[in-house]
Amino acid sequence: MKIIERIILVLLLLTTFGFTNLNGQTDAAFGSVPVVNGKVVFQQFIPNADGVDAPQQYVKLQKWGRERFQGNPLLSAIRFDDKARSVTISAGVNLSLPATSATVTLRYRLDISVANAGTMLVVRDISFQGEALGSGSAIPKTYGAEQVITDQAINGANGDKELRTHVRQATLNYFNGLHVELSSL
């Protein structure tokens, strides 16, 4: 009987430690660059918190959108559709890249819709602009995400592989930050 008790105790301890490690993990919503029909589109469903219905979540989303993007000089448009409970934001951000002094401007469209089960986050129409990406021209050229941050674009880069990898990581970090903010509403 002592051996069986020890085996059960060991199994309980292993199970407890296993669940403890799982609870401490935080997975990034966006770890890779998805391509849908030839376009880069990030999508993530965020469940509503217990006891929060769609109208309550939409009010929180409106407040977040106004506070988060108000005063952003790269904000092109923000639209609230009360009937569909959706928010569309066209904005940009200057990405600081590690190991370089270059700055690349990320522009994107954020579509967020609220339903009773949760919130759907879609990031699309992603583009980049910056002297570091161009050929040294005085006027920075705009590049689509498909040309800069996809696996195919990075692997096919002739000497820009490190720069594109940094742009990709900064982009994923930024979008994961938006996801964390929306998840905490």
Mapped onto helix, strand or coil, the DSSP state of residue 148 is helix
Quote the pLDDT of residue 23: 40
Range of the domain at 74: 31-183
In a domain, 58, yes or no: yes
Locate 180 and state its tokens: 């964390």
Computed from CA positions of residues 87, 90, 93, 97, in that sequence, does the dihedral angle turn out positive or negative? positive
77: Cα separation from own chain's centroid: 19
CB 85 within 8 Å of CB 114: yes
* pTM over 0.85, yes/no: no
In a domain, 14, yes or no: no
In a domain, 23, yes or no: no
In a domain, 81, yes or no: yes
In a domain, 154, yes or no: yes
Quote the pLDDT of residue 19: 45
Quote the pLDDT of residue 86: 98
In a domain, 172, yes or no: yes
Q: What is the CATH number of the domain that holds 69?
A: 3.30.530.80
In a domain, 1, yes or no: no
Q: Which residues of the chain have pLDDT under 50?
A: 16-26
- Taking the C-alpha atoms of residue 37 and residue 24, their distance in angstroms, rounded to an integer, is 36
Quote the pLDDT of residue 178: 97
Quote the pLDDT of residue 2: 73
In a domain, 19, yes or no: no
Quote the pLDDT of residue 103: 82
Quote the pLDDT of residue 8: 63
Domain count of the fold of the chain: 1
